[in-house]
Amino acid sequence: MDDLAALKHATEAALAAASDLRAWDAVRVGVLGKNGSLTGLLKALGQVPAEQRRERGAAVNRLRDELADLVEARRAALEAAALEARLAAERADVTLPPPAIPAGSIHPISRTIEEMTAIFGAMGFTVGEGPDIETDWHNFSALNIPGHHPARADHDTFYLPGTRDGRPLVLRTHTSNVQIITLLTQEPPFRVIAPGRTYRADHDATHSPMFHQCEGIVVDRDITLAHLKGCLVDFLRAYFAQPDLKVRFRASYFPFTEPSMEVDIGWNRRTGEIGAGGDWLEILGSGMVHPRVLANCGLDPREWQGFAFGMGVERVAMLKHGIADLRPFYESDLRWLRHYGFSALAPAMLHEGL
Ligand code: DAH
């Protein structure tokens, strides 16, 4: 038996032995994949003496078509068998009472933080934390927002009585304090996200005095704007489960980043649909960590660079799930929670493998 007949034989036997789609896929890759045996034969054609190459080439190509047909036929058979098995196993007794209402569900905020952690986790980020009660140094000064800076007033800060280390206390107005905590406590290089509660004295349909943000900071040698862009584009496409989502970086200003950029995604202003229509929606703030912020935390900005970003958790949850009003997030109304909550076992609605 020549080598081509032997390969056909062996493939037939392996396919017959593959009893599920996983095993089937291993056979498929082993034969037709980039390093598969048939692919090897095709690659080796260049070494065949010229006078035999034509005949050998035709034979190998014929074999490739045959093997592709065999592989496909086995897949169809396995899928049909799997469906049969499910149909036989999943029987519903319509005389039984309806199933009990589940006792609880995952809140959309928890769920969104879980999804962010999963996506950034796959990019090598760990999760950091900081206190909700923070010194005004961590919340503002160390982030290059000095006492007279208008950003302090813009943040509608809740000031608290008392001090820590002689510094006045605030309820943190953003998760950016975790940038400072991370810079002070971790040796670079690092990649950290920090989801958590934030507070501002503001209350209407789109603002709550307590809300959530997710911060991110990456510090390493030779970090550039390209890293920031790649990271955030990948995150947004994964989170909104749209591999082609349009993303735009727009020059902006934050005291703690230079340059700073706001990031917009494509959406339809009329329908609210993400990714459709010709409009842009601002979704997060970002930039290269300001050299002064690094220096405030004892790092040499000529040696270390980084990027940072911050986004509203409720905001991206509302956009993804079509939730119109912010207030019910905190009202514990069971009807809302049952409608917008998630089953603990529901698969994540993310785009994986970007
Ligand atoms: N802290 C900003 C806010 O509360 C958001 C933000 C913007 C965070 C840019 C960042 C950043 O890390 O780089 O609105």
- Please give the average per-residue pLDDT across 152-178, as a whole number: 93
What percentage of the chain has pLDDT greater than the value 70? 98
pLDDT at 72 over 80: yes
HSE, CB side, 13 Å, CA atoms: give it for residue 244: 2
pLDDT averaged over the chain? 93
Least confident of 123-132, 198-207, 282-291, 305-314: 198-207
Name the residue of 309, 311, 313, 314 whose CB sits within 8 Å of the most ligand 1 atoms, as the mutation to test its pocket.
309
Q: Residues 101, 338: contact at Cβ < 8 Å? A: yes
CB burial of residue 259 (10 Å; 0-12, 13-18, 19+): middle
Does ligand 1 lie within 6 Å of residue 285's CB atom? yes
What was the pLDDT predicted at 74?
94
What was the pLDDT predicted at 292?
98
To 5 degrees, how large is the angle CA 213–CA 214–CA 220? 145
Which residue's alpha carbon is nearest to atom 10 within ligand 1? 309
Tell me, in angstroms, the distance from the centre of ligand 1 to residue 256's CA: 8
Amino acid at 23: A
Tell me, in angstroms, the distance from the centre of ligand 1 to residue 28's CA: 48
pLDDT at 274 over 60: yes
- Please give the average per-residue pLDDT across 315-328, as a whole number: 94
- Please give the average per-residue pLDDT across 337-350, as a whole number: 84
pLDDT at 276 over 80: yes
Grade residue 330 by pLDDT with cuts at 50, 70 and 90.
very high
Compute the distance between CA of residue 200 and CA of residue 139 in angstroms, rounded to an integer. Answer: 13
Name the residue of 134, 138, 173, 176 whose CB sits within 8 Å of the most ligand 1 atoms, as the mutation to test its pocket.
176
Which residue's alpha carbon is nearest to atom 12 within ligand 1? 309
What was the pLDDT predicted at 353?
58
What was the pLDDT predicted at 261?
98
- Please give the average per-residue pLDDT across 172-180, as a whole number: 98
| Ligand 1 atom closest to residue 179's alpha carbon, by position in its atom list | 12
Does ligand 1 lie within 6 Å of residue 130's CB atom? no
What was the pLDDT predicted at 206?
82
Looking at mean pLDDT, say which of 110-124, 143-157, 332-346 comes out highest: 110-124
Token reading at 132: 């909700």
Tell me, in angstroms, the distance from the centre of ligand 1 to residue 286's CA: 6
Classify strands 210-220 and 247-254 as parallel, antiparallel or unpaired: unpaired
Domain covering 108-340 assigned CATH 3.30.930.10 in the classification: yes
pLDDT at 308 over 90: yes
Question: Which backbone phi and psi does 259 adopt, to 5 degrees?
Answer: -75, 165
Tell me, in angstroms, the distance from the centre of ligand 1 to residue 349's CA: 26
Does ligand 1 lie within 6 Å of residue 215's CB atom? yes
pLDDT at 48 over 80: yes
Distance between the two ends of the chain, CA-based, in angstroms? 44
Which residue's alpha carbon is nearest to atom 7 within ligand 1? 285
CA distances from 95 to 86, 98, 99, 104, 255 (A): 21, 9, 12, 26, 65
Does ligand 1 lie within 6 Å of residue 304's CB atom? no
What was the pLDDT predicted at 1?
55
Grade residue 203 by pLDDT with cuts at 50, 70 and 90.
confident
Does ligand 1 lie within 6 Å of residue 199's CB atom? no
Least confident of 2-16, 90-104, 148-162, 316-330: 90-104
Token reading at 234: 């990948």
Does ligand 1 lie within 6 Å of residue 211's CB atom? no
Does ligand 1 lie within 6 Å of residue 312's CB atom? no
Name the residue of 143, 157, 174, 175 whose CB sits within 8 Å of the most ligand 1 atoms, as the mutation to test its pocket.
174
Tell me, in angstroms, the distance from the centre of ligand 1 to residue 6's CA: 63
What was the pLDDT predicted at 27?
94
| Ligand 1 atom closest to residue 217's alpha carbon, by position in its atom list | 12
Segments making up each domain of the chain, as ranges: 2-90, 108-340
pLDDT at 168 over 70: yes
What was the pLDDT predicted at 147?
85
Which residue's alpha carbon is nearest to atom 6 within ligand 1? 310
- Please give the average per-residue pLDDT across 262-269, as a whole number: 96
Tell me, in angstroms, the distance from the centre of ligand 1 to residue 176's CA: 6
Does ligand 1 lie within 6 Å of residue 286's CB atom? yes
Q: Compare 352 and 18 and report the one with higher pLDDT.
A: 18
What percentage of the chain has pLDDT greater than the value 90? 78
Please write the tens of the pLDDT for every residue from 206-246: 889 999 999 999 999 999 999 999 999 999 999 999 999 99
Grade residue 138 by pLDDT with cuts at 50, 70 and 90.
very high
pLDDT at 78 over 70: yes
